[in-house]
Amino acid sequence: MTPDALRTLLDRVKSGKSSVAEAMKELRALPFRDVEHARLDTHRHLRCGFPEVILGQGKTPEEIAAIAVELLAQGDRLLATRVSPEAARAVREKVPYAVYHERARVITARRGPAPAPRGLVAVVCAGTSDVPVAEEARLTAEMMDARVESFHDVGIAGIHRLLGEVARLQEANALVVVAGMEGALASVVGGLVSRPVIAVPTSVGYGASLGGIAPLLTMLNSCAAGVSVVNIDNGFGGGYLAGLINSVAVGADGAPRRKS
């Protein structure tokens, strides 16, 4: 159940349009719903501000489709990551309005129109090979109602490409920096902006990058203050953290929060 749905239900009880017994019936699925192959956390939107996200890895197409249907029955949006084309087809058979973003391997769906995007998250990626992870971050932040700008192929091998975007980067409330190889881009961006930088190492690179270990260690050892690091190829984690920071930075109308 979404916060808006719960608020509407409580208003109906308060006004006498709904009985306590009727409200209890609607709330019977809280705080989780036990289905055949999963226990869905239907309370997560109320606690954390965003509903449970499906990790498609290791699940069958049928399981993903069933979970997607149940989550949308309880809430107004769906985000599923690491989804195969076969699983995406299974979901779309049950949820025709779901969208599969093949490069990012992400499914998104909303019941009803999306609210106007708020604030600004910048997603910066070093090279075109890093784009799938960057797109996972972008789609995640957008599903959290953030306005997102993407900056692709601005790695430090041609640092002038990045320096030409500094003014725009400094406008963001949070930045997700995605890079493989040696992963130095996050430190460079961290030295150019006054906002939180979430570094996402990728498994892109030649032998000594060790499947993402080299950029992970570089990012963990960043000399730039304000850089935090998520796990290798975890675009979802980077986008989610940026979305949370953005939601704190702006009010419901998208205007910057003012200190009291």
Residue 18 has pLDDT above 60, yes or no: yes
Residue 30 has pLDDT above 70, yes or no: no
pLDDT of residue 43: 67
- 229 forms bridges with which residues in the sheet? 199
Q: In 3-state terms, what secondary structure has residue 24?
A: helix
The most distant pair of C-alpha atoms in the chain lies apart, rounded to whole Å, by 68
CA distance 181 to 194: 25
pLDDT per residue as tens digits for the range 154-198: 999 999 999 999 999 999 999 999 999 999 999 999 999 999 999
pLDDT of residue 256: 63
Strands ordered across the beta sheet of 77-81: 54-55, 77-81, 106-110, 99-101
pLDDT of residue 211: 93
DSSP per-residue codes, 204-253:
-SSGGGGGGHHHHHHHHT-SSTTEEE--TT-HHHHHHHHHHHHHHHB-TT
- Mean pLDDT over the full length of the chain: 88
pLDDT per residue as tens digits for the range 133-157: 999 999 999 999 999 999 999 999 9
| 118-249 maps to CATH 3.40.50.1970 | yes
End-to-end alpha carbon distance in the chain? 31
Residue 220 has pLDDT above 80, yes or no: yes
DSSP tally for the chain: helices H, then strands E: 11, 11
Q: Averaged over 73-78, what is the pLDDT?
A: 86
Residue closest to 178 by CA, chosen among 213, 135, 226, 210? 135
Q: In 3-state terms, what secondary structure has residue 27?
A: coil
Residue 141 CB partners (closer than 8 Å, separation 6+): 121, 123, 148, 176, 239, 240, 242, 243, 246
Using pLDDT thresholds of 50, 70 and 90, give the confidence band for residue 16: confident
Residue 224 has pLDDT above 50, yes or no: yes
pLDDT > 90 in the chain, percent: 68
Domain residue limits, the chain: 28-110, 118-249
- 35 forms bridges with which residues in the sheet? 38
Torsion of CA 93, 98, 99, 101, to 10 degrees: -80
Which carries the bigger pLDDT value, residue 168 or residue 38? Answer: 168
Contact 79, 107 (CB under 8 A): yes
Q: Averaged over 62-86, what is the pLDDT?
A: 91
In terms of average pLDDT, the best of 2-16, 22-36, 146-160 is 146-160
Q: Averaged over 32-52, what is the pLDDT?
A: 71
Residue 112 has pLDDT above 90, yes or no: no
pLDDT of residue 144: 94
- The sign one gets for the Cα dihedral 8, 96, 30, 18 is positive
pLDDT of residue 260: 43
